Amino acid sequence: MIKKIGVLTSGGDSPGMNAAISAVVKSAISKGIEAYVIREGYKGLINKWIEKVDTTFASDIISRGGTIIGSARFPEFKEESVRKIAVENLKEFGIEALVVIGGDGSYQGAEKLTNLGINCIGLPGTIDNDIVSSDYTIGFDTALNTVVRSIDQIRDTMQSHSRCSVVEIMGNGCGDLTLYAATATGAEVFSTKESFLTEEEICQEVKNLAKAGKRSVVVAVAEKLYDAHSLATKIEEASGYVTRATVLGHVQRGGSPTAMDRYLAVNAGIFAVEQLIEGKGGLYIGMSDNKLVARDINSTLNMPKPDKSQEYQKARKNNLSI
């Protein structure tokens, strides 16, 4: 059986990463395996920022946002020569297996490390919910609740002044945060990469709502599609509503994880250690039909995105009826 397991967090952080780290460390130690943390993602593997930890390290972190071991984007890891240094360093510490908590970019690194002899298991840590083979990712629920709380607050003041607000939401090309938040807040107009509205179409929708006598309007848009402030100006000119813009930004990535994110993180962490003990690697843990599944990283990276067009249509119809 393996004697030493390492854990690292990579890519953009997400609420619940600490809960996953805690579960990996505790379950490894409870099975007689030494636990190591690698600080600052793959960068820490190259710089030997590797540290043995005990269960004290893992206690009382379950409710904390962010990642206490640090995360980083380290593009150099795409080079095989750099990954070979990582493997040498891990061998020097006697670490035979790794849990990598991150998004699909991090899994590519994990897959390649597995091919070099270090068994790796990926855990889905990202607010974007863009891991195709998992219904939900660790951090999505917390970020969603942050977005919903923010839109509710914006709605209060828009309602008082009979205004319109553009709210820009993260997601890195995945519209789930915007779709779920728009559904949960009744945002009248929303647009994502998957269900895109041009600026002209958005202005027209808001103009229609003004004509129909709607007192306040929320336009929820996924990031990287528009300039939120210039869109607000165009909406104001077209509709007559005084229109403001709020870019929610990194507030969406922080905060104490929700119970659902902690539940997923802890169970996925324990499951990952079980897989490594069985000698498996190159796998990714996801949530499918309410069950944890371990799938081949390669196959998950090539899976088609689930079609959510029905959900988009239903939410659009529902939110536009005033």
Annotated binding-site residue numbers for Mg(2+)? 104
Q: How many residues form the binding site for ligand ADP (CB under 6 A)? A: 18
Q: Given candidates 109, 124, 257, 282, which one binds ligand ADP under the rule CB under 6 A?
A: 109
Whole-angstrom Cα distance, residue 231 to residue 121? 42
Q: Mark the segment that binds ligand F6P (CB under 6 A) among 20-28, 126-134, 201-209, 280-288.
A: 126-134
Is 307 annotated in the active site? no
Contact string 59-98 vs ligand ADP (x = CB under 6 A): --------------xxx-xx--------------------
Minimum distance from residue 86 beta carbon to ligand ADP (Å): 10
Residue 108 interacts with ligand ADP (CB under 6 A)? yes
Number of neighbouring beta carbons within 10 Å of residue 41: 26
Between 144 and 209, name the residue whose CB sits nearer to ligand ADP: 144
Contact partner, 108, from ligand ADP, ligand F6P, none, Cβ < 5-8 Å per class: ligand ADP
- Per DSSP bridges, beta strands 50-53 and 217-222 are unpaired
User: Min. distance of Cβ 78 from ligand F6P in angstroms?
Assistant: 17
Binding map of ligand F6P across residues 71-110, x = CB under 6 A, - = no contact? ----------------------------------------
Kindly tell me the burial class for residue 312, based on how many C-beta atoms sit within 10 Å of its own C-beta (0-12, 13-18, 19 or more).
buried
Sole window of 8-16, 48-56, 136-144, 212-220 interacting with ligand ADP (rule: CB under 6 A): 8-16
Cα separation, 221 vs 193, whole angstroms: 9
Query: Contact, 262 vs 99, CB < 8 A?
Result: no
Tell which residue, 201, 179, 124, has the closest CA to residue 307: 179
Q: Output the DSSP codes for 88-126.
A: HHHHHHT--EEEEEE-HHHHHHHHHHHHTT-EEEEEEB-
Two tokens at 81?
A: 């020569």
Q: Tell which positions 151-190 bind ligand F6P, by CB under 6 A.
A: 170-172
Which residues are CB-contacts of 199 (< 8 A; sequence separation ≥ 6)? 226, 231, 234
The rounded distance, in Å, linking the Cα atoms of 140 and 136 is 7
Tokens of 114: 């597995």
CB 126 to ligand F6P: min, Å: 5
Tell me if 253 contacts ligand F6P by CB under 6 A.
yes
CA 210-213-216 angle, 5° bins: 70
CB 175 within 8 A of CB 194: yes
Which residues fall in the annotated binding site for ATP? 12, 73-74, 103-106
**Can residue 104 be called a binding residue for ligand ADP (CB under 6 A)?**
yes
Residue 171 binds which one of ligand F6P, ligand ADP, none, with CB within 5 to 8 A depending on kind?
Answer: ligand F6P
The verdict on 140 binding ligand ADP (CB under 6 A) reads: no
Which of ligand F6P, ligand ADP, none is residue 78 near (CB under 5 to 8 Å by kind)? ligand ADP
Q: Are strands 50-53 and 34-38 parallel, antiparallel or unpaired?
A: antiparallel
Q: Among the options 13, 54, 128, 176, which is catalytic?
A: 128
C-alpha separations of 109 from 11, 80, 201, 266, 316 in Å: 11, 10, 41, 23, 38
Interface positions with ligand F6P (CB under 6 A): 12, 126-128, 170-172, 223, 253
Which positions are catalytic? Answer: 128
Interface positions with ligand ADP (CB under 6 A): 10-12, 42, 73-75, 77-78, 102-106, 108-109, 112, 126
